[in-house]
Structure formats: C-alpha cells, structure tokens
Amino acid sequence: MKLLQVDTLEEARSKLRKAAEQVPLRTEEIPISQAFGRILAQDVCAGEPIPSFRRSSVDGYAVRSADTAGATESIPVFLEIVEDVAIGHPALAPVGPGMCSYVPTGGMIPEGADAMVMVEYSELFDENHVAINTAVSSGRFVVDVGEDMKTGELVLSRGTQIGPAQVGALAAVGTDRILVYRPWRVAVISTGDELVPVESVPGPGQVRDINTWALGGCVAQCGMELVLARALEDQEDRLEETVRQAVETCDLLLVSGGSSQGKKDVTMEVLDRVSGGGVFTHGLALKPGKPTILGCDRAEGTILAGLPGHPSAALTVFCLLFRWLWRQVTGQPEETPVLAHMETNLASAAGKATCLPVKLIPEGKALLARPILGKSGLITTLSEADGYILVDMNREGLKKGEPVWVRRYF
C-alpha cells in the first residue's frame, strides 16, 4: 500500500479545520420547543435578574431576624401576622418590628423582613398572632434578587448542546427563540463488489453492507443530516457520477472502501478528479484507519473523505476526524474524558497512533480499562466498547495499572 501523503492525526485535523473554512456554516432561528439536541449558535444572557424579587425557599413566616433572637420552644417569640402572601402575587404589607407575614415556598418576601422561619418551628396563637420557637439569622431561606442570575450574566454559551437542563435554563431567562446551527448535509457511499444488502444471505466471498448503516448512524448521532446513504459496486464511472451529484448538495461526502492502493481502489482518483486536485491527505498514521483519504472541493464547499472499508476502522476515523470537526466548527467544548487504569499490559505499534477500544470495569475504588481485541475489524469491537484510548505514536505499549484517558466514540 503506497500512500501518497501520510498524515498524523494532528496534521489531518489541522488540514480539515482549515478546509472546513470553505464549507458554509448556516444558522437558523427556532422556537425552544424544537431546540432539543441542537447546538446553540449564540451566547444567551439573562435579560433581567432571576429571581426578580426576594423569594422564600420554604413555607413559613417572613420575619425580621433580630425579632427572633433567643426564641426557643420553651420561650417563644410572639409576632403579629400582617399579611398572608399569596404565591404569584406581590407582598404588599411591610414587616415592621414585632410583625411577620406568612409566605409559601417560592412566594415574595415583604419589605422589612430579612429571614424565613419554617412553619414547623411556629405555632398559630390566634388568627393574627404566631409563636416562633427558633432564632434565625439574617438571610435564612431567602433567595436574593439576582441570586440565580444577574442581568447580563452568561447563561449558555455558543456551542452548547441543548439538553433538558439547558431547555430549562432558556425558559428561565425567557428566551423562547434561539439561533442554532443548521446541520451539515452528509452523503455516505459504501463501495465494494463484495457487499450485499442486509436482507440477503451472503454467498461465498460476499458480506453484508455494514458501513452505510453504521456511518449513517454516526451522522445522525452527531446531529448532522444524512441526505444520501447508498452502497455501490466497485465501478469507477458509477462512483464518479454519484460523487459528482452528491458534492453539489452536500457539505460532507464520505466514501467507504476502495481507499487503499489495491487494483480496484479508485476512491482516491475519483475524489481527486471531482475536486479538481483537492485531495490533501492519503494515509493516516492511525491504527485502525490507515487507508484514509481527505480532501476538499473548494468550488462546491464540500469536504470529501475516503474511509477504510473495515467497519470498525471507518467508524473510528469518522469519530476522530468528522465528529471532532463538527464539534470544532460549531464551538462545542471538548468532552471531559474519563480517567481509568489499564487492566492488562498491551503492546502497540510505534510510529503511528493507536485508537484502542476499551470496556470500563468498576472494581472497588478503581475504574479499569479492559482492551477489546480482535484483528478483523468487525463492528462488534465497537458495539461492546465504552470508549477508546488514544495511544501516542511514540509509545510502544501501555502498562498494567497505568492511568489512561478514555473518550467516547459517539
């Protein structure tokens, strides 16, 4: 396999990042009812303080804390109730010395009061008086104006993916429409004369088409839009025609198979021809993932890739390059990796980085990383994995007990 321009993972990422500047990144404004899973294309700040009034965090009596000094169950303090504050309504009567108001959880604390006494620590004496049998300090059970968010405070930053808590935060600050990124449109083409459809029984020499499904799943999981997913035979003119059509409408085109240097490996030639010489990487110093082709059609604003035919290699390259790239361009922060310790020694090839699938095994007060081995590159190595370890190209292996950072594939 004579590859033309073998890059390290870092070199390939750097070139892709630059190529992505040619690909339009569109945004759209949507209501938050449709925001779930989308990526924010704007910062969101609080337009007013939250809460906008002093709120009680308990059911009880709003008091002047000084009035409760020394109060106990045996020697309670008697206070006059001047108002029964209704939830959702303003507190109207100021609380002067010797006074208090009933305030429910979430209710507004009246002027003059500076603390709450929980209802459990009180006893109604008559309709207008209550016995308080505990002393409270100033600020007790009071949520101050702006304590959650101050005016102008950053609530969510660009690149945040909207999950349940984020939808809640948007609702809290009254943001009912947001600007999000429109997903890249992606085409997946799986090539190989050996491929038969899922519903077929493969004959001698044949295997079922896995990559169309698995790569299509990757695209969806990243929040990109799958606009084409098709298996093709190894036929150069048919591939070229399909690629030319796809490039016109897609932001990212993935061709799996035919990316090596075998007799029928025409992906490199086709991608380079269609993009007018736009291929900049042929070969990745990554195991698995060596036969990877990267390029850009600058005229159409499309990134082109040839991925390995082995399903687990194709998914690994997708994850390390294209999931990474989409997160980069949309400003998504790097995901926090998990710290684990190697369960066993493991040799790796020097001279190229190794992406090692692992299972995470909690054991006592330790989290162990158990390598999933298998030479064939079938999909099961990934369907069982909790994540991967990226072994540096200068390392010749990992030692049992060594700390390792584990990252998620998807």
Q: How far is the CB of 306 from a second copy (least distance, A)?
A: 14
Segment 285-344, which members bind a second copy (CB under 8 A)? Answer: 309-311, 315, 336-340
Q: For a second copy, which is the closer residue by CB, 378 or 390?
A: 378
Q: How far is the CB of 347 from a second copy (least distance, A)?
A: 17
The reply to whether 351 sits near a second copy by the rule CB under 8 A is no
- Helix H, strand E, coil C: the string for the chain is CCCCECECHHHHHHHHHHHHHHCCCCEEEEEHHHCCCCEECCCEECCCCECCCCEECCCEEEECHHHHCCCCCCCCEEEEEEEECCCCCCCCCCCCCCEEEEECCCCECCCCCCEEEEHHHEEEEECCEEEECCCCCCCCCEECCCCCECCCCEEECCCCECCHHHHHHHHHCCCCEEEEECCCEEEEEEECCCEECCCCCCCCCCEECCHHHHHHHHHHHHCCEEEEEEEECCCHHHHHHHHHHHHHHCCEEEEECCCCCCCCCCHHHHHHHHCCCCEEEECECEECCCCCEEEEECCCCEEEEEECCCHHHHHHHHHHHHHHHHHHHCCCCCCCCEEEEECCCEECCCCCEEEEEEEEEEECCEEEEEECCCCCCCCHHHHCCCEEEEECCCCCEECCCCEEEEECCC
Best CA proximity match to 56, nearest among 120, 121, 101:
101
Instruction: Point out which span in 10-18, 298-306, 359-367, 388-396 binds a second copy (CB under 8 A).
Output: 359-367
Q: How far is the CB of 181 from a second copy (least distance, A)?
A: 19
Residue 77-116 contact track with a second copy, rule CB under 8 A, x = bound: --------xxxxxxx------------xxxxx--------
Residue 118-137 contact track with a second copy, rule CB under 8 A, x = bound: xxx-----------------
Q: How far is the CB of 316 from a second copy (least distance, A)?
A: 10
Q: For a second copy, which is the closer residue by CB, 75 or 165?
A: 165
Instruction: Point out which span in 64-72, 162-170, 247-255, 266-274 binds a second copy (CB under 8 A).
Output: 162-170
Kindly tell me which residue out of 20, 62, 149, 186 binds a second copy, with binding defined by CB under 8 A.
149
Q: For a second copy, which is the closer residue by CB, 218 or 293?
A: 218
Instruction: Point out which span in 21-29, 256-264, 270-278, 347-355 binds a second copy (CB under 8 A).
Output: 256-264
Number of residues that bind a second copy (CB under 8 A): 111
Under 8 Å between Cβ of 331 and 42: no
Segment 234-253, which members bind a second copy (CB under 8 A)? Answer: 234
Q: How far is the CB of 336 from a second copy (least distance, A)?
A: 5
Residue 83, phi then psi, degrees to nearest 5: -160, 150
Q: For a second copy, which is the closer residue by CB, 120 or 396?
A: 120
Kindly tell me which residue out of 28, 176, 392, 396 binds a second copy, with binding defined by CB under 8 A.
176
Kindly tell me which residue out of 94, 97, 98, 163 binds a second copy, with binding defined by CB under 8 A.
163
Q: How far is the CB of 260 from a second copy (least distance, A)?
A: 6
Give CA–CA dist 214/311, Å, rounded: 8
Segment 197-216, which members bind a second copy (CB under 8 A)? Answer: 198-216
Best CA proximity match to 64, nearest among 132, 144, 162:
132
Kindly tell me which residue out of 181, 322, 326, 409 binds a second copy, with binding defined by CB under 8 A.
409
Q: How far is the CB of 100 from a second copy (least distance, A)?
A: 16
Is the backbone of residue 57 left (phi > 0), alpha (psi -120 to 50) or beta?
Answer: alpha
Segment 366-395, which members bind a second copy (CB under 8 A)? Answer: 366-367, 374-380, 382-383, 385-386
β-bridge pairing 387-391 and 353-363: antiparallel
Instruction: Point out which span in 12-20, 71-79, 127-135, 218-226 binds a second copy (CB under 8 A).
Output: 218-226
Kindly tell me which residue out of 101, 260, 275, 281 binds a second copy, with binding defined by CB under 8 A.
260
Segment 15-54, which members bind a second copy (CB under 8 A)? Answer: 32, 36, 48, 50-53
Kindly tell me which residue out of 25, 172, 349, 372 binds a second copy, with binding defined by CB under 8 A.
172
